[in-house]
Structure 1
Amino acid sequence: MPSARWVEENRVGYKAIYQHFRQQILAGHLKPGDRVPSIRVLAGELQVARKTVEAAYEILSGEGYFVSQGAKGTRVNPQLKLAAPATAPDAPPAAAAHLPVIENHGELRLGIPALDAFPLKKWLLISGKVARSLRPEEMITPPVMGYQPLRSAIASYLNISRGLQCQPEQVFITSGYRANLRLILAVLAQPHDKVLFEDPGYFFGQQLLKRITPHLHFVPVDQQGVDVDYLQRYHADARFAVVTPTHQSPLAVTLSLPRKHQLLAWAQQQHSWIIEDDYDGEFHYTRKVIPALKSLDTHDRVIYTGTFSKTVMPALRIGYLMMPQATIARFRELGEMLETGLPLLPQKILAQFLSEGHFYRHIKKMRILYQQRRSMMLQALEHCFPGLFQVERADGGMHIVAFLRRGTADHAIASLWAQHALFVRPLSAWYVQTQKRYGLVIGYTNIQSFEQARALLARVADATWALLAV
């Protein structure tokens, strides 16, 4: 702890406190995981205002040196690793050596689940058991359509959680979202088929389809979800419609019930396919269940898809799709030609994670946690940027859309924030047609406190206001 004399000699201020702790960490005197004094205790010891200490701690948290753990106090970030200095041990470290290396995914990044809340110990325990139980006959080529117990576990979970009537033989295990789209179109599409996508729509899905689909068209989205009237007026002859009805990506609105029925009627009449991407359908807050569009599908025209990237971890690289009964043979045939089978070991681990109930308990916990973390982010946005953004709250999801109340500079703002390791996305980049809205798409799932969110946004507050004033 810095002494009162030290603070006095350094002209008592938050910068002096910040620099002291930073130097102590870089010198190795404070190590990852070490607890530091509370704001109240340190302010009392140094006889300075609590706000002085609070400001220093916010900067240290924002830069990744400190982590607030609520009632457990504030600690040096346990994940902090310091780059080794290139100079001799007794020489002053180079400027580059002062930069912390944090083993994380980037702040405010979209689609990353709360990694700090994942039951990693349970996952590792299951992983060890599964690895030790691997049998010689399982070391051959994995099943093309996926490990049977995993297919059964997914079908069982979807029937309970998403209101489906799914049989295990309808589940096809894939490597994720892009693999889902590629496989579906490879099995069912003809070169001349028209494919519809939401506008705005998931940026990477849009970019993929532009490359693999010759006839790609876009349907606008409003407060009730994808505009089915527009679809029927201009694209009634489409063969596929790719939609995110539970929480639209990126606007997070829910497709209204009348439009759900209207969309299903169109697919049945035209003998077309609806590809339902239920990417974060598990995370709803105010209602127990938002039924999947597939749950209303009486004519088997919806191909339901999902992944475990946003519920377990992106590195798992496991997704799935629910094949309509009439298409199972075609999916199996092409799957064998494309050699789509995934490695067996992660499938076995995930199957046990689901069947033992750990997945359900984790999702239930995340619904509460994400609602709390969204509130923290919204408070921090208003604190650092009063009057700049308008947020239309959705019933859940993993991100917020902060619409600019004035101006169109979302690209410039996102670029500026990225320079400070805040990886948000400009909303206008998700649009294809001319009727755009402007704002930032912001992830909040790894925000652990209001103080952390405020410190992160404080990095870019002055520069953002200056940018908008130009």
Structure 2
Amino acid sequence: MGYKEIYARYRQQILAGQLKPGDRVPAIRTLASELQVARKTVEAAYEILIGEGYFVSQGAKGTRVNPELILPETTGKTAVPAPPVSALIQRESKGELRLGIPALDAFPHKKWLLISGKAARSLRADEMILPPVMGYQPLREAIASYLNISRGLNCQPEQIFITSGYRANLRLILAVLAQPGDKVLFEDPGYFFGQKLLKRIAPNLHYVPVDRQGMDVDYLLRYHADARFAIVTPTHHSPLAVTLSLPRKHQLLEWAQYNDSWIIEDDYDGEFHYTRKVIPALKSLDVHDRVIYTGTFSKTMMPAMRVGYLVMPKETIARFSELGEILETGMSLLPQKILAQFLSEGHFYRHIKKMRTLYQQRRRMMLDAMQACFPDVFDFELTDGGMHIVAFLARGTQDTALAEIWQRHQLRVLPLSGWYMQTQKRYGLVIGYTNIRSLDQARELLQRTVLETRALLD
């Protein structure tokens, strides 16, 4: 029995009502013994079920069916229920228009392989022990240099902490700096997996609405001025891609300084701007060191790399170092060595510059194809940059059903309404375009859905 069969069995039992929200499921070790399969097989199935929102892991309390899972009501007839929005988040490599996947066809594979070989051959005996907890020093130096030049920061290599990515950044920051009961603010709408993680690690979680100028800081000051943390995507908001206005940036920084609070800046795709006006990072305006800047190479290089980083405020370095020894075991050294050389030799700069031009072209292709195939279905609000577009429904609110239709045709788009947590929502599809190679390809992909899209919305 493979992990796919275990996953399918649980999913079927949940959708059929045989397992109900809140029900506990067997421990991985117990189920592996019962089914006589390897633990990793069960772990893989559970990870998918957790990722899709069917299960939640509660640590020592075990794993349960998600208590917040809303299932469709069943009738006497057998029906295929619509999946929860979280089930539309797919982790398979198959499918088109996926979010956050860089243009893999334009990645400099030959240069990467050449550097990889050199890094492997140069591995010394002393580097074969435990890697540095806070990261490989040459990589920390290369990242600090890049951020200071390209994103307007003023940080030292000692402030860089290498992690395994976005979620590791959030876990580490809150573990080091948060106290039980601290109020944490998140954007609404906000990054889907960020919401899911914070629900588990930040019990006092609240949401601040986002409009065309980014996070509504007036709302924050009116209702949540006592918050300890605000997590923001100020350069290109996820998913609306709007930019936090300069007056609001200053408001937010003043709030953090006055209240001794922390701003966690997620600059996940700040490199991809398509106008001559470069948007500096919020951290570049931070004179009181209240912003914790975070980034990742998943969007700029490849998701499989799993290398991220954060910039620690100077006063917190000792605390991050102390707890990092406990929480982090240090990223694998070889990928860090390869990445450090890739950055220090200037290849990363050239790659990003190439991607900006390419993504601007591919976004235009996607928009032209959307307007040709759906001339009266969607509205668009173009922003400075990013890696996806939001196609707002011109009428109706059926974006979840629409996303399900598109996903059946292997188009991995997501419904915009699923990113909201409060009642005021906007509706549409969040669509990746970075791997579209031609206008004809974009039209061919969209044509798969035209008839069903119109049948649903008319």
SS in 2 for 1:219: strand
Deviation at 1:387, TM superposition (A): 1.0
Deviation at 1:339, TM superposition (A): 3.1
Q: Which residue of 2 is the match for residue 440 of structure 1?
A: 429
Q: State whether structure 2 residue 433 is matched by structure 1 residue 415.
A: no
Q: Which residue of 1 is the match for residue 97 of structure 2?
A: 108
Q: Which residue of 1 is the match for residue 441 of structure 2?
A: 452
Amino acid at match of 2:309: Y
Q: State whether structure 2 residue 292 is matched by structure 1 residue 303.
A: yes
Deviation track 1:293-313 (CA, whole Å, cap 9, x = no partner) reads 000000000000000000000
Partners of 2:359 and 2:196 in 1: CA distance: 29
Q: Which residue of 2 is the match for residue 223 of structure 1?
A: 212
Q: State whether structure 2 residue 363 is matched by structure 1 residue 374.
A: yes
Deviation track 1:27-75 (CA, whole Å, cap 9, x = no partner) reads xxxxxxxxxxxxxxxxxxxxxxxxxxxxxxxxxxxxxxxxxxxxxxxxx
Q: Which residue of 2 is the match for residue 194 of structure 1?
A: 183
Alignment: residue pair count:
367
Partners of 2:277 and 2:167 in 1: CA distance: 29
Following superposition of structure 1 onto structure 2, how do residues 68-467 of structure 1 map, counting pairs within 5 Å?
A: 105-467=94-456
The higher radius of gyration belongs to 1
Partners of 1:144 and 1:105 in 2: CA distance: 35
Deviation track 1:270-310 (CA, whole Å, cap 9, x = no partner) reads 00000000000000001342100000000000000000000
Partners of 2:158 and 2:358 in 1: CA distance: 34
Deviation at 1:338, TM superposition (A): 1.6
Partners of 1:462 and 1:119 in 2: CA distance: 39
SS in 2 for 1:179: helix
Deviation track 1:247-278 (CA, whole Å, cap 9, x = no partner) reads 00000000000000000000000000000000
SS in 1 for 2:448: helix
Amino acid at match of 1:365: K
SS in 2 for 1:197: strand
Q: Is the 8 A contact 1:145 1:340 kept in 2?
A: no
SS in 2 for 1:156: helix
Partners of 2:455 and 2:395 in 1: CA distance: 15
Partners of 1:340 and 1:301 in 2: CA distance: 27
Pairwise CA RMSD: 0.9
Amino acid at match of 1:322: V
Deviation track 1:399-442 (CA, whole Å, cap 9, x = no partner) reads 00000010001000100111110000000000000000000000
Q: Is the 8 A contact 2:94 2:410 kept in 1?
A: no
Deviation track 1:106-162 (CA, whole Å, cap 9, x = no partner) reads 200000000000001100110011111111110000000000000000000000000
Partners of 1:190 and 1:318 in 2: CA distance: 27
- Ranges in structure 2 where 5+ consecutive residues have no aligned partner: 1-91
TM-score scaled by length of structure 1 = 0.77
Deviation track 1:430-455 (CA, whole Å, cap 9, x = no partner) reads 00000000000000000000000000
- Ranges in structure 1 where 5+ consecutive residues have no aligned partner: 1-102
Amino acid at match of 2:376: G
Partners of 1:240 and 1:337 in 2: CA distance: 23
Partners of 2:370 and 2:183 in 1: CA distance: 41
Q: Is the 8 A contact 2:362 2:434 kept in 1?
A: yes
Partners of 1:135 and 1:106 in 2: CA distance: 41
Deviation track 1:369-411 (CA, whole Å, cap 9, x = no partner) reads 0000000000000111111100100000000000001000100
Amino acid at match of 1:210: K
Q: Is the 8 A contact 1:174 1:340 kept in 2?
A: no
Identity level (%): 81
TM-score scaled by length of structure 2 = 0.79
SS in 1 for 2:411: coil
Partners of 1:386 and 1:442 in 2: CA distance: 17
Amino acid at match of 1:296: L
Partners of 2:239 and 2:412 in 1: CA distance: 15
Deviation at 1:340, TM superposition (A): 3.3
